């Protein structure tokens, strides 16, 4: 099969670029340590979240020095709890599930972004820095009130954080 | 555009097949017009410039826009184009024209059922709707006829493939040992890819969603049905793209004044799509819980390699166009560009579509970049990407291809070449504006699929310009696209009234490097099918198995929304059917 | 009508060049904004681009017609 010389060059450059792309993503995974949401969360019964030990009382809980777990329920058309309040300079792990249909969970202006699927728990760990306020939106169509579905993440100075729901 | 007087047109040689192609194109363009109307409504609504509907109805509009454009418009065009291509390249009529008309009829029936249920969502009095968007993720539930229509439509496309394989096998009996003609090769490989791809959505619809909507089963596993959808959801974009590639490879070189640079490379490209289109679907689910990171990583690497056939296409198409330009007298390193037939709307449309595709391909690579996807998933960036790819590379090529092909299907010249040229340029400019606004908006966090992306508790922060500027830009771009669509449909409608004449026939020259220059193994469709299936099993067996093992085949559930009808017993009650008809008659004047 | 110019051979070619150039110019503003944080105000920039493209089109058209005009003895 006759392949023109320019075509061979183009093919080689293309393959180098493709391998380069894979390398950058791999660096992001193992070098910068950005983990993808995976299947480590348990399955839950979306119709019985009230009975669940953690989702039965959604909210923020301290689990270590500067480490917090937040259990969030997405349902038509709110996030529970709202607002979510965490202290600055901490590591926060979100556990997000749905009580009804598929939702989205996006902390606007950050790379915290997840799909929220009933029956599954999306687990996402983020580093929280200075005090700030972030909007949380649902970006997956979930019904007629989808565009009203929003929440708030408030990062407060450490001395202002007094634990639990605020 | 040179014509060879005395060359019979396609309709002269194959009147019945030409009739089928015209019918397919007409359904396709009706869907395009309706889809475009919904598009402009959306563009003005979400940017808060003009709201003529309730925001709740926006999702009905969005479902219709998606389904009409990417299921009806694109796929009816594909079947028309492919019927033309295979008839022409095998130089034989359809084996049984009644069978051909039958599959086209099935596809039409399916479209009417599905489209009808979506449009009935505008009427609150009638308990029929399908406000589930093009992806119909459970637990969102549509009326059973929505799923039925999809199934009927799919079966129609499967039978189209059967028809074309029959034609090929009959030709093969008469031509043993010959290489498969290039256009036929493209048709057959596309259909192999389609058969593999539709396995996922067929299983999801027939075994889960349809029985669930009828009340035969109580719950479905939302992650399972979503994964089965994306099993199909990625290769379907190549089902849209490969007809455009067929036009770029086999028609565009001729229009440019030359010949296809390399037939073997074209075959390699199509084989790569057969192999790699499906085992990448999980890249649409990078942020899904319940799927391990390893499977996402495999999908990522497969996707990055899927860039290769498109890069090869870029080389071959540009090389073919350059060859054409030099045949027309062009000289110099870049000077040959001036020698191209830019006044020809078919040429300019396809070339600009290809140019825009390059941009779309790169924004797609960003979507594919697993961890980078956190920044763009479900934001308006994603529609920005696919309006460049399916919205321009595919749609604009289909419109440009129609300008070239329609006279050969009807013996009538195009009504106005200048308007056609204006149309493709307005599309390119409008899409440039709109897609740019969508990409930038997405990077600022503005979501897709949302009727009112204006929130109370916070504001979107931009690094340049402003959100209202982006909204205005999106609306202007969308308006230009709508105008362009009207110009296309109007020009075509008026072309149906131009007087018939002779001399509209076109031939397609053979490639510079022909099929005999390529290894025969490329034509071994069975081999590629087997390898493709192995790759699919490798990519999907474990993730699907894991989803079922953890969540169950029918899942823990999630309540269906909205519940459309009562269980099956009531649905078979003739009273229910007549009530629906009565409701319809009451609403429709 | 075909004519030889430094820029384009046909009016169709000029038109395509304008549209493609316009889109590229618009994208440059986006690149400046996203990658370099330079906020180029929209209205003046669009007007400037339109003026530049208009001048180009005018020159390409007129300059292209000069050989023909010379031939016709104008």
pLDDT tens per residue across span C29-62: 999 999 998 999 999 999 999 999 999 888 888 8
pLDDT in tens, B17-63: 999 999 999 999 999 999 999 999 999 999 999 999 999 999 999 99
Residues B202, B205, B209, CA angle at the centre, nearest 5°? 165
Catalytic site positions of B:
234, 238, 385-387, 448-449
Is C8's Cβ below 8 Å from some Cβ in B? Answer: yes
pLDDT at B260 over 70: yes
Domain ranges across chain B: 10-119+145-203+220-258+265-547
Question: Which homologous superfamily is B10-119+145-203+220-258+265-547 in?
Answer: Cytochrome c oxidase-like, subunit I domain (1.20.210.10)
Helix (H, G, I), strand (E, B) or coil at A84: strand
Is C49's Cβ below 8 Å from some Cβ in B? Answer: no
**Which residues make beta-bridge pairs with A122?**
A96
Task: Report if residue C3 sits inside a domain.
Answer: no
The residue of B362, B429, B443, B464 whose CB has the most chain C CBs within 10 angstroms, and thus the best one to mutate to test that interface, is B464
Cross-chain CB nearest to B222 (options A14, A102, A111): A102
Whether B355 sits inside 8 A of C20 (CB atoms) is yes
Residue B1: predicted pLDDT: 46
Cis amide bond preceding B257, omega within 30: no
Residue A2: predicted pLDDT: 77
Model ipTM over 0.85: yes
Residue B566: predicted pLDDT: 45
pLDDT in tens, A77-99: 999 998 999 999 999 999 999 99
Element holding A72 (H helix, E strand): strand A67-75
Query: Residue B199 and residue B236: Cα distance in Å, rounded?
Result: 12
**Banded pLDDT at B5 (limits 50, 70, 90):** low
Measured between CA atoms, how close is C33 to chain B, in angstroms? 5
Q: Can you point out the beta strands (E) in B208-328?
A: none
pLDDT at B445 over 80: yes
Burial of B334 (0-12, 13-18, 19+ CB in 10 A): exposed
Helix (H, G, I), strand (E, B) or coil at B293: helix
Chain B meets chain A (3+ C-beta pairs below 8 A): yes
What does the longest C-alpha to C-alpha distance in chain C come to? 54
Residues of chain B found within 8 Å of residue C40, distances taken between Cβ atoms? 464
Reported for B571-579, long-range contacts at CB under 8 A and 24+ positions apart, including other chains, are B571/B144, B571/B214, B571/B215
The residue of A108, A110, A143 whose CB has the most chain B CBs within 10 angstroms, and thus the best one to mutate to test that interface, is A108
Task: Report if residue C53 sits inside a domain.
Answer: yes
Task: Report if residue C1 sits inside a domain.
Answer: no
Query: Residue B281 and residue B279: Cα distance in Å, rounded?
Result: 6
Cross-chain CB nearest to C42 (options B344, B348, B469): B469
Measured between CA atoms, how close is A158 to chain B, in angstroms? 22
Whether B440 sits inside 8 A of C42 (CB atoms) is no
Mention every residue, 6+ apart, whose C-beta is less than 8 A from residue B509.
B253, B254, B258, B259
Task: Report if residue C43 sits inside a domain.
Answer: yes
Contact B441, B468 (CB under 8 A): no
**Which residues make beta-bridge pairs with A107?**
A136
Is A14's Cβ below 8 Å from some Cβ in B? Answer: yes
The token pair at B37 is 């109307």
Whether B342 sits inside 8 A of C12 (CB atoms) is yes
Helix (H, G, I), strand (E, B) or coil at B74: helix
By C-alpha distance, the chain C residue nearest B344 is: C12
Task: Report if residue C5 sits inside a domain.
Answer: no
Task: Report if residue C40 sits inside a domain.
Answer: yes
Task: Report if residue C45 sits inside a domain.
Answer: yes
Query: Residue A3 and residue A11: Cα distance in Å, rounded?
Result: 10
Residue B580: predicted pLDDT: 58
Chain A meets chain C (3+ C-beta pairs below 8 A): no
Q: How many independent structural domains does chain C possess?
A: 1
Task: Report if residue C6 sits inside a domain.
Answer: no
Question: What domain range includes position C16?
Answer: 11-66
Q: How is residue B500 annotated by DSSP? A: P
The token pair at B187 is 């048709």
pLDDT in tens, B381-399: 999 999 999 999 999 999 9
Chain B 474-533, CB below 8 Å of chain C: which residues?
A: none
CB atoms within 10 A of CB B374: 21
pLDDT at B344 over 90: yes
């Amino acid at each position: 099969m006759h392949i023109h010389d320019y075509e061979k060059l183009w093919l080689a450059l293309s393959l180098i670029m493709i391998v380069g792309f894979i390398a950058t993503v791999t660096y992001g995974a193992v070098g910068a340590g950005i983990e993808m949401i995976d299947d480590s969360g348990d399955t839950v019964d979306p119709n019985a979240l009230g009975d669940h030990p953690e989702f039965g009382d959604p909210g923020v809980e301290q689990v270590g020095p500067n480490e917090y777990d937040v259990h969030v329920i997405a349902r038509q058309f709110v996030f529970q709890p709202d607002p979510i309040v965490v202290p600055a300079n901490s590591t926060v792990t979100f556990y997000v599930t749905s009580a009804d249909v598929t939702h989205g969970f996006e902390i606007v202006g950050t790379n915290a972004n997840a799909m929220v699927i009933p029956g599954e728990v999306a687990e996402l760990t983020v580093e929280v820095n200075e005090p700030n306020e972030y909007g949380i939106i649902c970006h997956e169509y979930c019904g007629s009130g989808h565009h009203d579905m929003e929440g708030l993440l408030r990062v407060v100075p450490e001395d202002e954080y007094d634990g639990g729901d605020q | 555009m040179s014509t060879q007087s005395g060359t019979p047109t396609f309709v002269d040689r194959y009147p019945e097949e030409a009739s089928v192609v015209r019918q397919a194109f007409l359904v396709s363009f009706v869907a395009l017009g309706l889809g475009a109307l919904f598009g402009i409504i959306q563009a003005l609504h979400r940017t808060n410039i003009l709201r003529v509907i309730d925001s709740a109805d926006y999702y009905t509009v969005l479902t219709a826009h998606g389904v009409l454009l990417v299921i009806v418009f694109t796929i009816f065009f594909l079947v028309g184009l492919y019927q033309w291509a295979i008839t022409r390249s095998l130089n034989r009529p359809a084996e049984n024209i009644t069978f051909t008309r039958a599959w086209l009829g099935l596809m039409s029936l399916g479209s009417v059922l599905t489209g009808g249920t979506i449009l009935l969502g505008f009427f609150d009095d009638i308990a029929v709707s399908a406000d589930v968007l093009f992806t119909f993720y459970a637990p969102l539930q549509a009326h059973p006829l929505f799923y039925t229509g999809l199934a009927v439509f799919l079966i129609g496309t499967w039978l189209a493939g059967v028809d074309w394989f029959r034609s090929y096998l009959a030709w093969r009996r008469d031509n043993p040992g010959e290489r498969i003609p290039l256009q036929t090769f493209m048709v057959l490989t596309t259909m192999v890819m389609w058969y593999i791809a539709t396995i996922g959505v067929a299983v999801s619809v027939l075994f889960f969603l349809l029985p669930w909507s009828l009340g035969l089963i109580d719950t479905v596993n939302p992650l399972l049905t979503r994964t089965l959808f994306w099993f199909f959801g990625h290769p379907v974009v190549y089902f849209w793209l490969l007809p455009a590639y067929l036009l770029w490879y086999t028609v565009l070189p001729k229009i440019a004044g030359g010949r296809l640079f390399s037939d073997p490379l074209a075959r390699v490209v199509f084989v790569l799509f057969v192999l790699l289109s499906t085992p990448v679907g999980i890249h649409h689910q990078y942020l899904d819980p319940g799927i391990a990171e390893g499977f996402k990583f495999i999908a990522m690497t497969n996707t990055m390699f899927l860039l290769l056939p498109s890069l090869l296409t870029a080389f071959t198409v540009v090389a073919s166009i350059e060859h054409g330009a030099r045949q027309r007298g062009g000289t110099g390193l870049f000077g040959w560009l001036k020698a191209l037939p830019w006044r020809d709307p078919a040429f300019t449309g396809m070339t600009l579509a290809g140019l825009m595709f390059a941009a779309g391909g790169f924004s797609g690579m960003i979507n594919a970049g697993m961890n980078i996807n956190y920044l763009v998933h479900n934001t308006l960036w994603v529609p920005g990407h696919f309006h460049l790819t399916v919205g321009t590379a595919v749609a604009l090529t289909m419109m440009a291809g129609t300008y070239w092909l329609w006279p050969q299907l009807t013996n009538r010249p195009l009504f106005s070449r200048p308007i056609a040229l204006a149309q493709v340029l307005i599309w390119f400019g409008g899409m440039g504006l709109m897609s740019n606004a969508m990409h930038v908006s997405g990077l600022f966090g503005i979501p897709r699929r949302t009727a009112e992306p204006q929130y109370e508790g916070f504001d979107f922060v931009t690094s340049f310009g402003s959100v209202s500027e982006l909204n205005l830009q999106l609306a202007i771009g969308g308006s230009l696209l709508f105008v362009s669509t009207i110009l296309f449909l109007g020009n075509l409608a008026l072309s149906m009234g131009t007087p018939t004449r002779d001399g509209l026939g076109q031939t397609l020259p053979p490639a510079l490097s022909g099929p005999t220059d390529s290894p025969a193994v490329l034509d071994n469709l069975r081999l590629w099918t087997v390898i493709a299936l192995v790759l699919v099993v490798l990519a999907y067996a474990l993730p699907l198995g894991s989803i079922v093992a953890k969540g169950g085949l029918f899942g823990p559930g999630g309540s269906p929304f909205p519940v459309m009808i009562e269980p099956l017993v009531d649905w078979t009650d003739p009273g229910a059917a007549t009530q629906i008809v009565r409701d319809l008659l009451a609403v429709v004047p | 009508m075909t004519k030889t110019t430094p820029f384009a051979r046909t009016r169709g070619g000029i038109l395509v060049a304008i549209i493609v150039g316009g889109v590229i110019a618009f994208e440059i503003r986006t690149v400046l904004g996203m990658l370099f944080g330079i906020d180029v105000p929209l209205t003046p920039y669009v007007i400037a681009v339109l003026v530049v493209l208009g001048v180009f089109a005018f020159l390409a058209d007129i300059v292209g017609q000069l050989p023909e005009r010379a031939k016709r003895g104008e």
